[in-house]
Amino acid sequence: MTRREPLSLIQPEIGCAFTARTSRPDLSAHRRPSLARVLEDGRPLPGPANALHDDIRHVGRGHFSFWHNLVYFATSDNSDPRTNGRRYEIEYPIDRATACLLRLKNAVTSKRKTASAVGRAGYGADVLLRMWERIGCAPSRDSRLLDFGCGAGERVDELRRKGHEAFGCDLSLPEPVRGSGERGIIREITTAPYRIPFDDQSFDVVFSITVFEHVMNYDAALAEISRVLKPGGVAVHVFPSRWKPLETHAFVPFASRVQSYWWLYFWALLGVRNEFQRGDSATFTATANHRFLTNETNYLSKRRIRQHVLRHFDECEFVEEAAFRPERYEFFRRHPRLLPPYRAWSSATNVRVLVCRARSASS
């Protein structure tokens, strides 16, 4: 069995020679002749392989050599591989066990890309308004909305463009919006003491998207959300499920529950990375994921979430169907008996939609 990998970031060296980094320093010929080859448009360079570097530099004509984590090579006609329009790859033999691990890695990567595509589609204003209508809290033009954990405020901007009076807050704001001040549309949450920087009973709807898996102190956050909600207001929080097969941030299977370093290291060895970790070593990636997951995520059970919510709100319910795509939502409207088991499965393995209804003025 063989495996191919494309060469990228090709750099000129000396004379006819060019170099590129590989992900396989074990292919190096510094101890024994390497069995790896360089391909030009899918065909092996004429070689010879394991050539002297001086011959690659001064003779060229398809000579190549793997040396530590680099491959030295010259193209078949000594042209520049960056501009000659040809495709360059390396090819090397792998055993059956390695092939099995690579297939597993590719399956995980494929799912990760699908999940990322869904995440990029995100919860824009139209999706949020549709979801709130299903829940029964569709805002009017006079309603005031708060994006709890708004980041740079993209959803706030989109809602305001649609005519809604939307605001945002977050623990840490990007520099461009940080200077908006205490009275700005987007404001910074303080932590000593923990306080959402808006007045009591300011909002009809408080919402968050993929925030509550990071809330380490539920009671502090919920108390503040309850304070800024008007009597009868609604808080709607969408966040990843506790048993989601691919954890939302690290993309590691079941890392919301299994957060040991060695579990994370195993998947890092297979090449599982998020978009910020490409090029990092397995050790660095596993260490960063372990630190992040144990210190900055908090995946609670539904029972514990309800206990926290009911200390500050009159009602607590999970309504995952509110986030269903239109065709799926209509299907379960026609077949309501099928909804409870599907909702339970979706809530356990995909996403949770938590609805908290504020205490009335008489409470």
- The β-bridge relationship of strands 70-73 and 18-21 is antiparallel
Provide mean pLDDT across the span 205-226.
Answer: 95
Cα gap 235→222, rounded to integer Å: 9
Q: Please indicate, yes or no, whether residues 234 and 319 belong to a single structural domain of this protein.
A: yes
Q: Please indicate, yes or no, whether residues 333 and 185 belong to a single structural domain of this protein.
A: yes
What does the pLDDT look like over 244-301, one tens digit per residue?
A: 999 988 999 999 999 999 999 999 999 898 877 777 888 988 988 998 899 889 999 9
Provide mean pLDDT across the span 187-210.
Answer: 92
Q: Is residue 279 part of a domain?
A: no
pLDDT tier at 154 (50, 70, 90 boundaries)?
confident
pLDDT at residue 181 tops 50: no
Q: Is residue 308 part of a domain?
A: yes
Provide mean pLDDT across the span 237-248.
Answer: 93
Tokens 């000396």 locate to 14
Q: Is residue 268 part of a domain?
A: no
Per mean pLDDT, which range of 104-113, 178-187, 249-258, 327-336 is the poorest?
104-113
Q: What integer best gives the mean pLDDT of the chain?
A: 87
pLDDT at residue 329 tops 80: yes
pLDDT value at residue 153: 86
Q: Is residue 80 part of a domain?
A: yes
Is the model's pTM score more than 0.75?
no
Q: Is residue 277 part of a domain?
A: no
Q: What is the CATH number of the domain that holds 345?
A: 3.40.50.150
Q: Please indicate, yes or no, whether residues 352 and 210 belong to a single structural domain of this protein.
A: yes
Identify whether the C-beta of residue 355 lies closer than 8 Å to the C-beta of residue 235. Answer: yes
Residue at a domain's end among 94, 127, 155: 94
Cα gap 363→229, rounded to integer Å: 14
Cα gap 268→290, rounded to integer Å: 11
Cα gap 35→351, rounded to integer Å: 47
Provide mean pLDDT across the span 163-177.
Answer: 81
Q: Please indicate, yes or no, whether residues 181 and 216 belong to a single structural domain of this protein.
A: yes
Cα gap 138→272, rounded to integer Å: 40
Q: Is residue 291 part of a domain?
A: no
Q: Please indicate, yes or no, whether residues 305 and 162 belong to a single structural domain of this protein.
A: yes
pLDDT value at residue 120: 39
SS3 labels along 198-251: CCCCCEEEEEEECCCCCCCCHHHHHHHHHHHEEEEEEEEEEEECCCCCECCCCC
Q: Please indicate, yes or no, whether residues 235 and 326 belong to a single structural domain of this protein.
A: yes
pLDDT tier at 68 (50, 70, 90 boundaries)?
confident
Cα gap 59→57, rounded to integer Å: 6
Tokens 């008007």 locate to 230
What does the pLDDT look like over 137-149, one tens digit per residue?
A: 999 989 999 999 9
What does the pLDDT look like over 8-63, one tens digit per residue?
A: 889 899 899 999 988 777 888 877 888 999 999 999 999 899 999 989 999 999 99
Cα gap 189→203, rounded to integer Å: 16
Domain with 338 in it: 118-243+297-357
Provide mean pLDDT across the span 221-237.
Answer: 95
Per mean pLDDT, which range of 120-124, 147-151, 187-191, 317-321 is the poorest?
120-124
Identify whether the C-beta of residue 235 lies closer than 8 Å to the C-beta of residue 225. Answer: yes
pLDDT value at residue 191: 83
For residue 67, what are the β-bridge partners? 70
pLDDT value at residue 24: 79
Beta-strand runs (E) in 243-331: 315-318
Q: Please indicate, yes or no, whether residues 225 and 321 belong to a single structural domain of this protein.
A: yes
Q: Please indicate, yes or no, whether residues 83 and 137 belong to a single structural domain of this protein.
A: no
pLDDT value at residue 107: 55
pLDDT value at residue 118: 38
Q: Please indicate, yes or no, whether residues 316 and 182 belong to a single structural domain of this protein.
A: yes
Q: Please indicate, yes or no, whether residues 164 and 238 belong to a single structural domain of this protein.
A: yes
Residue at a domain's end among 42, 61, 94: 94
Q: Please indicate, yes or no, whether residues 154 and 217 belong to a single structural domain of this protein.
A: yes
**Tell me, what amino acid is at 43?**
R
- What's the domain count of the chain? 2
Taking the mean position of all CA atoms in its chain, how far away is CA 213?
13
Q: Is residue 353 part of a domain?
A: yes
Identify whether the C-beta of residue 68 lies closer than 8 Å to the C-beta of residue 31. Answer: no
Identify whether the C-beta of residue 244 lies closer than 8 Å to the C-beta of residue 299. Answer: no
